[in-house]
Chains A and B, each alone.
Chain A
């Protein structure tokens, strides 16, 4: 019965999964380093510079430290949910990378290997579905702690994330009208063949998506769930050891993944700007396929820098301002963008 499965293909996918998850974990680790270095640069300090050359081993030291810390589970908390919370947050963060096209098809040991783990036809919906599971990680963790600060932070975080999910979904619809497909590989292919990135057609949609991505990742200026001057430490205040590490890691992985999503949807994904890849591959230059993922990482690096730049530039919103922006401004704006896109596309085509 199982003979029909291509076992070699499954093995290939497994290797790809291990590589991609490891890369996203390493990038998440070095995001903490980048955050501290960029903060230091903007505040005219040096930042981490003791562990290794330029402090490059600092994230390893920080990560290693988490293994040797004492696990504390408050005696008033719900033990099972307390452990489940961070695990769920980490799991949702690790699952989103499955549908992202990291590159074209490369040749490895004579096999042509697609650099996308699962090319499913609902691509972007899968990402949305998994991302909205992230709310449970925050909510369960905050509630199970049985701490007033944590619970308040979790409630804030959950209602912030669901509010901005609406505007995010609406801004994406305008893009889907242009592409006509939910598959991420098709969306990238279209941008590669036309040579024009979607951000050119959807500047307003991209802007709304960017703002919502900041809110979904709980980044400044929307980091209300972690407003330390009101809530001590936020929803993960009772956590220690790797459970705290999971929450922080999940946050940085989410930042990385949302940068990848923005680069893929609006900035051509692994498309090399001003280069016609298809023509080069037709001439036998297959090595160009290896450049694609690097180009994607460079684009992602820019977005991660943007996240950090904004964090050290813009102060935090008040909660009512945050909700007003999400509901009363971004949702009508996204609807307007959708209707305008639809009318323009139909008008220009006929």
Chain B
């Protein structure tokens, strides 16, 4: 910690310093304490009259059948995997967007090529029917 705070005059207001994240840490501690206090308070204030019927899973009044954690439609997992793939590609655009003016036309055409790759993958998953929700 020492080197972070001694290098520059006021690290909290200096954007290039890691010290500028310090207020976020304070806010995190504040949020955690606030949530813990609230949870503790409601736990302490609320009535505790549990019965076996009350603690059962709610299924609109009918008896619940079996465990909920059964195999789910694969579509949801497919969407999750595709999100990871495409989000990584989107993240690559961010450094380009920030330095976009300095890179000029040359950088633009390079990124255009990357957009081409992005679209190739995109059309592939659409043609494969990965995003069709009705079989």
Give chain A's interface residues, CB within 8 Å of chain B. Answer: 1-2, 4-6, 9-10, 13-14, 17-18, 21, 66-77, 83, 87, 90-91, 94-95, 97-99, 114, 117-121, 125-126, 143, 145-152, 155-156, 158-159, 162-163, 165-166, 169-170, 173-174, 176-177, 180-183, 232, 237-238, 241-243, 245-246, 319-320, 323-324, 327-328, 331-332, 335, 338-339, 342-343, 345-346, 349-350
Identity of the chain B residue whose Cβ is nearest the Cβ of A22 in the assembled complex: B34
Q: Using known A-B contacts A21-B34, A147-B57, A166-B86, determine if residue A339 contacts B112 with beta carbons closer than 8 Å.
A: yes
15 CB contacts below 8 A, A to B, read A4-B11, A10-B22, A17-B23, A21-B27, A72-B55, A98-B24, A119-B15, A120-B24, A126-B24, A166-B83, A169-B91, A176-B97, A245-B42, A323-B79, A331-B122
Q: Are A242 and B38 in contact (CB under 8 A)?
A: yes
Give the contacting residue for B13; candidates A9, A163, A166; CB below 8 A.
Answer: A9
- Number of contacts between A and B (CB, 8 Å)? 229
Closest B residue to A66 by CB, please name it: B42
Q: Which residues of A contact B55 (CB under 8 A)?
A: 72-75
**Complex: A69 Cα to B35 Cα, angstroms:** 17
B residues 33-49 in Cβ contact with A at 8 Å: 34-35, 38-39, 41-43, 45-49
B27:A117 contact, CB within 8 angstroms: yes
Give the distance in Å from the alpha carbon of A345 to the alpha carbon of B58 in the complex: 56
Known A-B contacts A87-B35, A177-B100, A242-B39; the reply to A70 vs B48 at CB < 8 A is yes
Quick check: A68 and B134 within 8 Å, CB to CB?
Answer: no
Which of B12, B27, B105 is most buried by chain A, counting CB atoms within 10 A of its CB? B27
Does B120 make an interface contact (CB < 8 A)? no
Contact B39 A117 (CB under 8 A): no
Among B22, B34, B80, contact of A162 (Cβ-Cβ < 8 Å): B80
Inter-chain contact B100/A180, CB cutoff 8 Å:
yes
Seed contacts A4-B11, A324-B133; 5 additional CB < 8 Å A-B pairs:
A14-B26, A118-B23, A152-B72, A232-B60, A345-B100
| A14 surroundings in chain B (CB, below 8 A) | 26, 30
Q: Are A338 and B93 in contact, with the CB atoms below 8 A?
A: yes
Q: How far is the CA of A123 from the CA of B55 in the complex (A)?
A: 44
B5 at the interface (CB under 8 A from A): yes
Residues of A within 8 A of B48 (CB): 70-71
The reply to whether A323 and B133 form a contact with Cβ atoms under 8 Å apart is: yes
Docked Cα-Cα span, A349 to B108, in Å, equals 14
Nearest Cβ distance between residue A106 and chain B, in whole angstroms? 15
Contact between chains at A238 and B57 (CB < 8 Å): yes
* Complex Cα gap A345–B96 (Å): 14
The residue of chain B having its C-beta at the shortest distance from the C-beta of A21 within the complex is: B30
Q: Which residues of B contact A169 (CB under 8 A)?
A: 87, 90-91
Query: Counting CB contacts under 8 A, is B101 at the interface?
Result: yes
Q: Contacts of A83 on B, CB cut-off 8 Å?
A: 39
Q: Which 10 pairs show the lowest CB-CB distances between chains A and B?
A: A320-B133, A242-B42, A176-B97, A94-B31, A162-B83, A118-B23, A4-B5, A75-B55, A159-B79, A13-B23
Chain A residues in 8 Å Cβ range of B46? 67-71, 241
Instruction: Verify B35–A342 contact, CB threshold 8 A.
Output: no
Contacts of A74 in B (CB 8 A): 55-58
Q: Given A1-B1, A146-B69, A338-B93: A10 and B26 within 8 A (CB)?
A: yes
